[in-house]
């Protein structure tokens, strides 16, 4: 199974990607996570993309497409893309990749959210760099402030989760990524879920959608 997860920043893509990948045995491919890992290593790719990521701007298409193609080449089974594609050019590059590799997207699942809800959600988001667990000061605070419940690691706020940068990321999303919904809708494998519900309710809804496609 090959799934593309769409949704604005803060719609809960990362959280729901983990739920779906665990349940359906898919490899989670998050371009944001891949970039943050490269930035933490200060690799040549990390240095190249660091400014874009910190400022909430999109990394150039050719850089992202090359990274995703190399990553998917190494994935043995099904996958779920989280944070890619983000532009029409990326969606077309993905289609081209799939044609030459003999695959197709089974489902494009979009998490719908209102802008104000996103700003509040992201401003309260803290995550654990050690194990990837995500907390939210409003909806899911850690038991001890600043400490991961799961592994005891020190929680950090993403550099691009400040309000000004979140608003810029949302503008970029509106301009460049939202049009992808129409692109995929016309292909007939597009479904939308309300991302504004509790994470548990969203998880139930996305699981039901994927169950339906899987059956
Ligand atoms: P995310 O974790 O998905 O919110 O991504 C964090 C940042 O990584 C984005 O704000 C962009 O700077 C960069 N990024 C991630 N995925 C892409 C993509 N598909 N195209 C361009 N830039 C991306």
The answer to whether residue 41 sits within a structural domain is yes
Q: How confident is the model over 120-144, as pLDDT tens digits? A: 888 889 999 899 899 999 888 999 9
Q: What number is the average pLDDT over the span 6-10?
A: 93
Q: Whose CA is nearest to atom 14 of ligand 1?
A: 32
Catalytic residue (one of 2, 13, 18, 121): 13
CA-CA distance, 162 to 48, in Å (whole number)? 22
Q: How confident is the model over 68-86, as pLDDT tens digits? A: 999 999 999 999 999 999 9
Q: What local confidence, expressed as pLDDT, does residue 22 receive?
A: 97
Q: What local confidence, expressed as pLDDT, does residue 215 receive?
A: 78
| 112-126 as b/e: b if 16+ CB within 10 A | ebeeeebbbbbbbbb
Q: What local confidence, expressed as pLDDT, does residue 103 receive?
A: 87
Comparison of pLDDT for 105 and 116, the residue scoring more: 105
Domain membership of residue 57 as a residue range: 2-113+163-214
CA-CA distance, 212 to 97, in Å (whole number)? 26
DSSP state of 59: P
Indicate which CATH number applies to the domain containing 97. 3.40.50.300
Q: Whose CA is nearest to atom 19 of ligand 1?
A: 84
The answer to whether residue 147 sits within a structural domain is no
> Is the minimum distance from the CB of 80 to ligand 1 under 6 angstroms?
no
Q: How confident is the model over 151-166, as pLDDT tens digits? A: 999 999 988 888 889 8
Token representation of residue 164: 């000004």
Q: Residue 185: which of 81, 118, 80, 91 has the closest Cα?
A: 91
207 CA to centre of ligand 1 in angstroms = 24
Question: How far is residue 128 from each of residues 53, 148, 186, measured CA to CA in Å?
Answer: 18, 6, 38
Does the pLDDT value for residue 27 go beyond 90?
A: yes
Residue to substitute in 7, 12, 31 for testing ligand 1 pocket (most ligand atoms within 8 angstroms of CB): 31
Q: How confident is the model over 48-71, as pLDDT tens digits? A: 999 999 999 999 999 999 999 999
Q: What local confidence, expressed as pLDDT, does residue 120 receive?
A: 83
What number of H helices and E strands is found in the chain?
9, 7
Q: What three-state secondary structure class fits 195? A: coil
The answer to whether residue 167 sits within a structural domain is yes
Does the pLDDT value for residue 15 go beyond 90?
A: yes
The answer to whether residue 14 sits within a structural domain is yes
Does the pLDDT value for residue 28 go beyond 90?
A: yes
- Residue 46 CB coordination number (10 Å): 17
The answer to whether residue 54 sits within a structural domain is yes
The answer to whether residue 125 sits within a structural domain is no
Does the pLDDT value for residue 188 go beyond 90?
A: no
- The band of 11, judged by pLDDT with boundaries at 50, 70 and 90, is very high
Q: What local confidence, expressed as pLDDT, does residue 2 receive?
A: 97
CA-CA distance, 192 to 184, in Å (whole number)? 11
The answer to whether residue 141 sits within a structural domain is no
Number of domains in the chain: 1
Mean pLDDT of the chain: 94
160 CA to centre of ligand 1 in angstroms = 10
Q: What local confidence, expressed as pLDDT, does residue 164 receive?
A: 87
Q: What number is the average pLDDT over the span 187-215?
A: 93
- The band of 176, judged by pLDDT with boundaries at 50, 70 and 90, is very high
Predicted TM-score (pTM) of this structure? 0.90
The answer to whether residue 192 sits within a structural domain is yes
CA-CA distance, 153 to 132, in Å (whole number)? 10
CA-CA distance, 71 to 26, in Å (whole number)? 14
CA-CA distance, 210 to 126, in Å (whole number)? 28
Token representation of residue 139: 């909806």
- Residue 187 CB coordination number (10 Å): 12
């Amino acid at each position: 199974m090959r799934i593309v997860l769409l949704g604005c920043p803060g719609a809960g893509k990362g959280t729901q990607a983990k739920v779906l990948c665990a349940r359906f045995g898919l490899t989670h491919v998050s371009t944001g996570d891949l970039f943050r890992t490269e930035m933490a290593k200060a690799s040549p790719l990390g240095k190249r993309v660091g400014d874009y990521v910190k400022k909430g701007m999109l990394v150039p298409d050719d850089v992202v497409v090359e990274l995703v193609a190399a990553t998917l080449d190494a994935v043995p089974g099904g996958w779920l893309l989280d944070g890619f594609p983000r532009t029409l050019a990326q969606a077309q590059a993905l289609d081209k990749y799939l044609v030459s590799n003999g695959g197709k997207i089974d489902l494009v699942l979009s998490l719908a959210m209102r802008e104000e809800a996103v700003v509040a959600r992201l401003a309260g988001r803290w995550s654990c760099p050690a194990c990837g667990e995500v907390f939210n000061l409003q909806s899911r605070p850690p038991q001890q402030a600043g400490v991961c419940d799961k592994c005891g690691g020190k929680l950090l706020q993403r550099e691009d989760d400040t309000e000004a940068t979140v608003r810029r990321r949302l503008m970029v999303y509106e301009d460049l990524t939202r049009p992808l919904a129409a692109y995929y809708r016309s292909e007939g494998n597009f479904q939308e879920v309300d991302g504004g519900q509790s994470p548990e309710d969203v998880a139930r809804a996305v699981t039901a959608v994927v169950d339906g496609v899987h059956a």
